[in-house]
Structure 1
Amino acid sequence: MPRILVIEDDEVTAREIAAELAVHGLDADWAADGREGLRRACAQRYDLVTLDRMLPGMDGIDVVAALRERGVDTPVLMISALSDVDERVRGLRAGGDDYLTKPFAPDEMAARVEVLLRRRQGQPETRLRVADLELDLVRHVAHRAGQPLALLPTEFRLLEYLMRNSGQVLTRSMIFEAVWGFHFDPGTNVIDVHIARLRRKLDPPGMPPLIRTVRGSGYMLAPAG
């Protein structure tokens, strides 16, 4: 069972995170301040760390920077009440792998954790394949059932993200941040527009659809079954 270290000074939030992770089959330990979290993350082998941005004893930015300086490459999901773009960039530059703002939905947090865990288990690839869909990451070309797909650069990045996480429900926030690279604006429909365009190219009439809408959650790419 994957082990997660939750570094969070608020006990209620820490228990909520641990409870949601348990639902997904993940075991969680808790550290209530930055220095203790750093010590445990260095002393024990964890599969992932959730890290609060503002902590007593040692700031979250300093914790993740110290982990990377000591050669600890455990994936880190930073969680913060600071939602502006500059803070997110600062957290990622310090060594964080993803950044989630408070308040957050527990299933959103768990989805991000699962994506980071899947990414860590994978190996560098030059070609992605899901059913009869193939993406060549070197030549930047895509085919479905042997037929080439004419994709714009953003469509290619969107499809790559969906394929790398095939079978996984991806929220709009996750897609927006991974493909466009900044914090999700819930008032925009840019994701839905790009998904619709990608669907027209990927799932023409007569072909089994690969992109699925998960009502109330987001999207998933998976073979029909």
Structure 2
Amino acid sequence: MTRVLVVEDDRELGELLVRAFGNAGYTTDLAGDGQAGLHRALTRGYDLLILDRGLPAIEGLDLLARLRRSGVQAPALMLTALGTVADRVAGLDGGAEDYVVKPFDLDELLARVRVLLRRPPAPAGHVIAVGTAEFDLITRTVHAEDGTATTLSGRESDLLRLFAEHPSRVFSRREITARVFPESGTDTLADTYVHYLRRKLGAAVVTTVRGTGYRLGRL
């Protein structure tokens, strides 16, 4: 049974989400503040976390950071009224796999949840090579040859994994969207996340093949 934790201080909204996820077949718990969410996530096993950002006791991004440091790797979706580009980037860079702004469409939210739950688990050999670096799929951390460690967001990790598992293949923007961002109606997310990877790991990590798409570069 798929288990979902919703951390939301708006009780009416939280109960609506619990009912919606229950109707979709998920076992769902509700926590009303960040401290309660932290306790539940650390003491019970969940397959997905739905987190507000403006939470009492522990703010949503701080909550997610504490959970990641404690080894909780369940995918997280930020569900919040903070919707500027800077807010979205902060949420994704802070470790969230997806970011949905309130008010939202419930059917779209459920679709995004299904996408996150379909993400492949890290394989038994969860460290793969990216050029001269090592990429840990569980911690989503790239360890460079010089000892530098860089942690990626969920979507950045998914994109780098796609390239790293097919190092000689060129992926079109449409292929990247279908594999990494299937809920998106536009191919521009491929360009955006290639930019994010280059910003974190260096411009050479992804090579642009003019007129075709992208492939793994080097570190």
Fold conserved (TM > 0.5)? yes
Query: Could you report, residue by residue, the CA deviation over 1:3-30 in whole angstroms, capped at 9, with x for unpaired residues?
Result: 1000000011111211221222111100
Q: How far apart are the structure 2 equivalents of 1:181 and 1:120? A: 22
Asked if 2 retains the 8 angstrom alpha-carbon contact of 1:78 and 1:100, the reply is yes
Rounded to whole Å, the distance in 1 between the matches of 2:9 and 2:188 is 26
Separation (CA, whole Å) in 1 of partners of 2:56 and 2:32: 8
How many pairs does the alignment contain?
A: 157
Provide the rounded CA distance (Å) in 2 between the counterparts of 1:26 and 1:176: 30
TM-score by length of 2: 0.63
Of 137, 140, 144, the match for 2:166: 137
The alignment's C-alpha RMSD in Å is 2.8
- Contact kept, 8 Å, 1:8 with 1:51, in 2: the verdict is yes
Distance of aligned partners of 1:11 and 1:73 in 2 relative to their CA distance in 1, 3 Å threshold: same
Q: Distance in 2 between matches of 1:51 and 1:67?
A: 12
Question: C-alpha offsets along residues 157-197 of structure 1, whole Å, 9 cap, x if unaligned?
Answer: 224337xx6xxxx353xx56853548xxxxxxxxxxxxxxx
Q: Distance in 2 between matches of 1:8 and 1:177?
A: 31
Deviations 1:61-112 (A, max 9, x none): 1000111111111111111101111111111122111111000011111111
Cα distance in structure 1, aligned partners of 2:98 and 2:28: 18
- Is the aligned partner of 1:179 residue 2:190? yes
Contact 1:2 1:46 in 2 (8 A): yes
**1:3 aligns to what?**
3
The runs of 5 or more residues in structure 1 that have no matched partner are 126-135, 142-150, 183-225
State how 1:30-109 maps to structure 2 within 5 Å: 30-109=30-109
Contact residue 77 and residue 98 of structure 1 kept, 8 A: yes
Confirm or deny that 1:116 pairs with 2:135.
Answer: no
Secondary structure, counterpart of 2:119 in structure 1: helix
Q: Is this contact kept in 2: 1:20–1:107, CA < 8 A?
A: no
**Structure 1's 67 and 177: CA in aligned 2 closer, same or farther, altered over 3 A?**
farther
Which amino acid letter does the alignment assign opposite residue 5 of structure 1? L
- Residue pair 2:177, 2:187 contacting (<8 A) in 1 also: no
Tell me the SS of whatever aligns to 1:29: strand
